[in-house]
């Protein structure tokens, strides 16, 4: 870079954007998939450039180096002299090594960041750099584990793990430049991330606070979440409520007991389905996900997820609440109508509303009707439910 344009930075950020995105299945390398009108890479770079002054090295697929350079220059503007773009390797570790080879001589600290963590706030970059400047060899942003974690084999739970001792690792991961160079030079095997490689080389890795927005876009559900976060509408600075509609239908003919509206109905014929066939819970889930722009029930609870086989309403609603919270939404309320001849919902309506409200953490009202003998519900072949949900974006 020219000596009179910008101060020479002592930090470099390697943005790893060379992945194929197989699990995302979006028809393009992951970093070049659009979240809104801009790509995952573009959003990641906007946050990198909003952080500490740094040389920015983008590692891209060999055939997308030109596209990556275009994206980087669009973000950098007058700071385009800070940019280098290189082709990645066969593995993530090879890609980071390619980035390390073009780090400027004056750089003291190197941050390695996954482009797939496109919404990582700039403050996380600042925390990592501050940890390195305070004397640590390496710094890793982490967030606490919120789910109960089990150690399992192919068919059973072996043990519950103490989640107070566990944390989820994020990026950017920061290192003293000499420490990272030496660890890469000595590496004899691939590691899951750069912090693991440096730790294997004998260095202690400090932790700093990560951020919920630094989640990794890996699946289509993750992409929906990112799109929802970026699409939150606001009027005069105030969050604007959003409404979603959901429906579900199941036929009678399942095994075991009937589950409907979160309740077991002894003596009634069961509904068929991958889970317990609870059309009320499923319609609520679809309405909430639609309101938040997070896809549908098949995206998050599909038949390819065996953990939801036979699951009841509480499992679906609790998980949906977590998904919406993670995407920046609070649930206002849900109204759901059941269409069926049996069971008679009125005697247990209050009980159903209480169970559903407790599981969702927001008010749920339930009503029921018959269809005067019309359609499959009228002939007693199954049950249908229709839900409307209101969600409100949380303040930024």
Domain ranges of the chain: 11-220, 237-393
Pick the CATH number of 11-220 from 3.90.550.10, 3.40.50.360, 1.10.4080.10, 3.30.2130.30: 3.90.550.10
Q: What is the pLDDT of residues 46-93, one digit of tens each?
A: 999 999 999 999 999 999 999 999 999 999 988 889 999 999 999 999
Tokens 């072949």, residue located? 381
114 marked as part of a ligand binding site: no
**CA 227 – CA 222 distance, rounded (Å):** 9
Domain 11-220 and domain 237-393 have a common topology? no
250 marked as part of a ligand binding site: yes
**CA 90 – CA 93 distance, rounded (Å):** 8
110 marked as part of a ligand binding site: no
320 marked as part of a ligand binding site: no
296 marked as part of a ligand binding site: yes
Mean pLDDT score, 124-128: 95
297 marked as part of a ligand binding site: yes
Mean pLDDT score, 109-120: 96
Q: What is the pLDDT of residue 26?
A: 66
> Which of 5-9, 281-285, 316-320 bottoms out in mean pLDDT, i.e. has the lowest?
5-9
Q: What is the pLDDT of residue 3?
A: 41
Higher confidence at residue 294 or residue 237? 294
120 marked as part of a ligand binding site: no
Assigned token pair, 228: 């929802």
Calculated CA dihedral for residues 272, 275, 276, 279, nearest 10 degrees: -80
Specify the pTM: 0.69
Is the pLDDT confidence value at 360 over 80? yes
136 marked as part of a ligand binding site: no
Q: At 390, which helix (H) or strand (E)? A: strand 382-393
> Which of 32-41, 162-171, 276-285 bottoms out in mean pLDDT, i.e. has the lowest?
162-171
Mean pLDDT score, 26-37: 85
249 marked as part of a ligand binding site: yes
Asked: is 237-393 a CATH 3.30.1330.50 domain? The reply is yes
35 marked as part of a ligand binding site: no
The secondary structure of residue 34, as a DSSP letter, is: B
> What do you get for the CA distance between the two ends of the chain, in Å?
37
Positive or negative CA dihedral for 355, 257, 289, 386?
A: negative
Is the pLDDT confidence value at 366 over 90? yes
Q: What is the pLDDT of residues 267-300, one digit of tens each?
A: 999 888 777 889 999 999 999 999 988 888 887 8
248 marked as part of a ligand binding site: yes
Is the pLDDT confidence value at 233 over 70? no
372 marked as part of a ligand binding site: yes
């Amino acid at each position: 870079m020219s000596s009179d344009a910008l101060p020479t930075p002592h930090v470099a950020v390697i943005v790893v954007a060379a992945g194929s995105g197989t699990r995302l299945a979006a028809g393009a390398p992951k970093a070049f998939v659009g979240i809104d009108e801009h790509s995952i890479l573009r959003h990641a770079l906007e946050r990198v450039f909003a952080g500490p002054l740094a040389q920015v090295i983008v590692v891209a697929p060999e055939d997308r180096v030109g596209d990556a350079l275009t994206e980087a220059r669009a973000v950098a503007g007058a700071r385009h002299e800070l940019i280098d773009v290189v082709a990645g390797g066969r593995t993530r570790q090879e890609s980071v090594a390619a980035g390390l080879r073009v780090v400027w001589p004056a750089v003291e600290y190197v941050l390695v960041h996954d482009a797939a963590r496109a919404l990582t706030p700039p403050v996380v970059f600042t925390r990592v750099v501050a940890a390195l400047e305070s004397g640590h060899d390496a710094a890793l942003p982490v967030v606490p584990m919120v789910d109960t974690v089990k150690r399992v084999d192919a068919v059973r739970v072996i043990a519950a793990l103490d989640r107070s001792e566990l944390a989820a690792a994020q990026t950017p991961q920061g290192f003293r430049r000499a420490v990272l160079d030496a660890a890469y030079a000595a590496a004899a095997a691939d590691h899951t991330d750069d912090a693991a490689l440096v730790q294997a080389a004998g260095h202690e890795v400090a932790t700093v606070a990560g951020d919920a927005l630094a989640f990794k876009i890996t699946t289509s559900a993750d992409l929906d979440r990112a799109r929802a976060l970026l699409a939150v509408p606001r009027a005069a600075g105030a969050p604007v409520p959003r409404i979603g509609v959901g429906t579900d239908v199941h036929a009678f003919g399942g095994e075991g007991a009937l589950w409907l509206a979160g309740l077991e109905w002894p003596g009634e014929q069961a509904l068929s389905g991958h889970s317990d066939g609870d059309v009320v819970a499923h319609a609520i889930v679809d309405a909430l996900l639609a309101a938040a722009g997070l896809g549908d029930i098949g995206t998050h609870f599909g038949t390819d997820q065996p953990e939801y086989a036979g699951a009841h309403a509480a499992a679906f609603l609790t998980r949906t609440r977590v998904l919406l919270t993670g995407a920046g939404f609070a649930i206002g309320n849900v109204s759901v109508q059941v269409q069926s001849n049996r069971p008679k919902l009125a005697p247990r309506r209050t009980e159903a509303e209480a169970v559903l409200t407790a599981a969702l953490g927001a008010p749920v009202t339930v009503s029921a009707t018959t269809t005067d003998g019309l359609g499959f519900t009228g002939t007693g072949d199954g049950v249908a439910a229709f839900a409307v949900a209101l969600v409100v974006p949380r303040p930024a």
